[in-house]
Amino acid sequence: MEPLVIGTVALYVVLLLLVVFVVATVVKSVRIVPQASAVIIERLGRYSRTLDAGLHFLVPFIDKPRATVDLREQVVSFPPQPVITSDNLVVSIDSVIYFQPTDPKAATYEIANYIQGIEQLTVTTLRNVVGSLDLEQTLTSRDQINGQLRGVLDEATGRWGVRVNRVELKAIDPPASVQDSMEKQMRAERDRRAAILNAEGVKQSQILTAEGDKQSSVLRAEGQAQAAILEAQGRSRAIVEVFAAIHRGNPTPSLLAYQYLQTLPQIAQGDANKVWIVPSELNDALKGVGDVLGRRDGGGHDDEPHEVDVEGVGGDLDAPTLEDPGEALRRAREEAQGATREAADSESATRRGRRVPDSGGDV
């Protein structure tokens, strides 16, 4: 009984091992490759073929996958590298490489680690390129450095089955002392530009202010000239209107004599007047006033004073209000006597009641 049980267990174990072997063989014979990937297959230790994306069948225990290569573009950022420029300054440069494997077989068999190879090649090439440039050229020639790096890397990595698409310099950091000097220089340059802009602004402001003052002066002068012209024209027109009104009114000699006498007191005004100039026309004025007063007192003439017709002077002119001729003559005589007394006190040679000659004289 016991040998039968042992044989049954052994049979089950064999069958189980056989199933496991069959499953393992099937798994090893089927290979699914994802998109944008390539699998290198070796048969008995030698390169057999490259599997692209899709389902593939392998010979179990004979075909063996060697490596899986990612065919997508890859980005690798390398740590900062110290580089010496031509003017003996050490700068730290960060670089970024964009590359893509194009030949999976070459990338697998031509170099052990193409990423490490690209990094070391980038460092050496960067030192050669930057070593021929000074600090200012290094800071301002990024495109030139990128182009030279890309050319050297693309030529060297071509046999590795890798294509370098782009090379970028992330940062170029000069020494701290050089950075401080550069900041001072930039600050001084900015201050200089600010001073220049401020001076130009002040200059432009002064120019505009001067132009404004000039235009204001010109306009003010033109306004004053225009005002003077208008005032002169107004005075001229007023004189013409007065002159025409006097002629249209046809004034009598008595009215002219009366107005003449009214202006005489203005001549004697002032405390400093010691000499009174009496014009020769005073006799004629007094004679006309005397005639008027004589006619008024009963000399056979009209009792009413002669009225001046002012209706024809102008529609908008009012008739003048005339002072009494007798009162005006009395007041004029009193002012004339006072002036005469003052002149007699100052000049003892002047005789009282001296007749004024026709050509005029001093009293």
Full-model pTM: 0.47
Q: Of 57, 51, 60, which Cα lies nearest the Cα of 23?
A: 60
In a domain, 181, yes or no: no
Q: Specify the number of domains making up the chain.
A: 2
My answer on whether 59 and 80 are in the same domain is no
What residues contact 323, with CB distance under 8 A and at least 6 apart?
A: 258, 262
Question: How confident is the model over 300-341, as pLDDT tens digits?
Answer: 444 444 444 434 444 444 444 444 555 655 666 676 666 666
136 and 63 fall within a common domain: no
Q: Are residues 87 and 167 in the same domain?
A: yes
CATH number at 94 reads 3.30.479.30
- Considering the domain architecture, whether residues 105 and 43 belong to the same structural domain is answered as no
What pLDDT does residue 199 have?
92
Whether residue 86 is contained in a domain is answered as: yes
The boundaries of the domain holding residue 28 are 3-68
279 part of a folded domain: no
**Does 83 share its domain with 56?**
no
Residue ending a domain, choose from 146, 174, 202? 174
Domain finish residue from 174, 199, 218: 174
Identity at 108, one-letter amino acid code: T
**Residue that terminates a domain, selected from 39, 68, 97:** 68
pLDDT (tens place) for every residue of the chain, 363 residues total: 566 677 787 788 888 888 888 888 888 888 889 999 999 999 988 999 999 999 988 888 888 899 999 999 999 988 888 888 888 888 888 889 999 999 999 999 999 888 888 888 888 888 888 888 888 888 888 888 888 888 888 888 888 999 988 888 888 888 888 878 878 888 899 999 999 999 999 999 999 888 888 888 888 888 888 888 888 888 888 887 777 777 777 766 666 666 666 666 666 665 555 555 555 555 565 555 555 555 544 444 444 444 444 344 444 444 444 445 556 556 666 766 666 666 566 555 444 444 444 443 333
What confidence score (pLDDT) does residue 100 get? 92
- Which residues are registered as beta bridge partners of 149? none
Whether residue 152 sits in one domain with residue 111 = yes
Residue 363, domain member (yes or no): no
CA distance linking residue 279 with residue 360, whole number of Å: 5
